[in-house]
Amino acid sequence: MVTIKTSNDSSFFGHPGGLQTLFFTEMWERMSYYGMRALLVLFMTASVQKEGLEFTVATAGAIYGLYTGAVYFLGLPGGWLADRLLGGKRAVWYGGLIIFAGHVVLAIDLQNLFFVGLILVATGTGLLKPNISAMVGQQYGDNDARRDSGYALYYMGINLGSLIAYLVTGYLQEGWGWDYAFGAAAVGMALGLIQYHFTNGSLAGASVEPANPFIGEAKRKAWMAVAAVIAVCAVVIVLAHTGTIVIEPVSLAQKVAIFFTLVFFLYFGYIYFKGNLNEDEKRRMWALLLVCIASACFWSGFEQAGSSLNLFAQNYTDRALSSGWFGMDSIPTVWFQLSNALFIIVLSPFFAALWINLSKRMIDPSYTIKTAIGIVFMATGFLVMFLASQYAAQGLKVAPMWLVTTYFLHTVGELCLSPVALSAVSKLSPKRFAGQMMGVFVLTYSIGNIIAGLLSGNFDPENVETLPALYMQIALFSIGIAIVIGLLSLRSRHWEKSGLSEKA
């Protein structure tokens, strides 16, 4: 029987008061994250005269991929720290403080402390992001019917944060400079920390203490291990900062991509072969493997938004404004990324209703076919960019609608794949490994982001005639993957139902 939990208030649009705390904390944290992420490649490739770092596109793309990939990968130790040592409430607080420190470092000295700031932000995000997401569910009882709508409301906070980020940082970067734009991310995180500090008393007790804490000697050893890891990382940072050791970003990104991929397959294989799974669970794991592969391929294309598509908006898109808006004579480059957040807000209810209405008509596409459709939409977006880049190769500035159309198609692909993939992990994973499998699945985000950074390195602003080939390469590869997954879905739809048909 589905019930409504009454032990907590319903002060936040009919939901527990703790959701309000988490909603605004996540909104401001996402504002700081997306605001800074949108600026990274633009800042790294800007000339010294424009107060940038003047890195090559290949180097900037590799660093971008390493940063965004690390954000997701560090969620694994971040979740462990909360479960065993800190508890969700303190993990979010300390994670937010580390993020804030990173943004302050960037705002104070972008030229000399850039990498220190990136490392701090990535580390703090790895501690905050997985735990605040888990805490949303902990505000509800096991049979509370409000849980799904609570996550939908929480997801709205994420998109509001990204909207604010692109509007604010894009405007400040164009009109005031890099320091103000990066500083805005620090202000956003500070606002999130302030409201979290004063409202976290409303959080449910389950989200405060560690779920499976170490005690006694085990706790002391765990903290010693954490301190040792921090010390080693600090030494490496200092040595790299002083030039004692030299880190080549492209080579490092290639090695890290291989490492993340090996970790994914080894962990997945360990659960498959050593998890004492029955035959039905093994069949569902095969179906889940296809979903994971689709996810990694999708994000490797989708995450061009912050790198190659960002540079295309800056260099080859007609951003001129006939009448000045807020004193601006051109559309800020970053504002094109607003399209994704806006389209998600508009289209999410439609897609939520679409799958329900299809199931009512006895049309129930498998998880794998849905993810294949998502990849096709993403690939179609790059076919649009192939056409746009041909105009750019002729020395023309293309209309903004080319990029907006691409972002629309990518958003449709995201809505076909992202929530479906998360649902697949929840449903197809062996129940006793559900948490670990979600962690393994998150590795597909890391793999996709690093590959995206490496792919964007092929974008050469000085050699624009190579752009059509780059976008066509991404489109054809993605379509090929979608076809393979689509064909395998003829078999995988049966794997997905193994042992579950009687519970349908």
- What distance in Å separates the CA atoms of residue 301 and residue 233, rounded to the nearest whole number? 31
Give the residue-averaged pLDDT of 16-24: 83
Burial 142-156 (b: 16+ CB within 10 A, else e): eebebbeebbebbbe
Between residues 261 and 494, the one the model is more confident about = 261
pLDDT in tens, 177-227: 888 998 998 999 999 999 998 888 877 776 677 777 888 888 899 899 999
What's the pLDDT at 494?
81
Helix (H, G, I), strand (E, B) or coil at 453: helix
Residue 197 CA, distance from chain mean position: 25
15 pairs with which residues across the strands?
12
What's the pLDDT at 1?
38
Helix (H, G, I), strand (E, B) or coil at 325: strand
The domains spanning 13-213 and 249-504 adopt the same CATH topology: yes
Q: Domain 249-504's class?
A: mainly alpha
Q: What is the 3-state secondary structure (H, E, C) of 348-401?
A: HHHHHHHHHHHHHCCCCCCHHHHHHHHHHHHHHHHHHHHHHHHHHHCCCCECHH
What's the pLDDT at 504?
40
Tokens standing for 330?
């051109």
Helix (H, G, I), strand (E, B) or coil at 1: coil
- What distance in Å separates the CA atoms of residue 389 and residue 186, rounded to the nearest whole number? 35
> Distance between terminal CA atoms of the chain?
17
pLDDT in tens, 383-406: 999 999 999 888 889 999 999 999
> Look-up: residue for tokens 């897609």?
351
Q: Is the distance from CB of 35 to CB of 165 less than 8 angstroms? A: yes
CATH number attached to the domain at 13-213: 1.20.1250.20
Whole-Å CA distances, 376 to 307, 379, 412, 482, 495: 21, 5, 10, 6, 23
Tokens standing for 56?
């090559």
The share of the chain scoring above pLDDT 70, in percent, equals: 91
Residue ranges per domain, the chain? 13-213, 249-504
Complete DSSP assignment for 409-440: HHHHHHHHHHHHHHHHHHHHS-GGGHHHHHHH
What's the pLDDT at 228?
95
> Look-up: residue for tokens 């395998």?
488
DSSP H or E segment with residue 321: strand 320-325
Q: Is the distance from CB of 378 to CB of 480 less than 8 angstroms? A: no
- What distance in Å separates the CA atoms of residue 460 and residue 170, rounded to the nearest whole number? 23
What's the pLDDT at 326?
62
What's the pLDDT at 62?
92
What's the pLDDT at 158?
84
331: alpha, beta or left, given left = phi > 0 and alpha = psi -120 to 50? beta
- Give me the amino acid identity at 156: M
Q: Give the other-Cβ count within 10 Å of 176's Cβ.
A: 12
Q: Which of 295, 303, 283, 504 lies closest to 419 in space, CA to CA?
A: 295
What's the pLDDT at 356?
65
Tokens standing for 411?
């958003």
Whole-Å CA distances, 186 to 64, 135, 354, 416: 19, 24, 39, 33
- Whether the predicted pLDDT of 361 surpasses 80: no
pTM of the model: 0.87
Q: Which of 69, 93, 82 lies closest to 134 in space, CA to CA?
A: 82
Complete DSSP assignment for 182-243: HHHHHHHHHHHHHHHHHHGGGS-GGGTS-SS---HHHHHHHHHHHHHHHHHHHHHHHHHHTT
pLDDT in tens, 43-71: 998 888 888 888 988 999 999 999 999 99
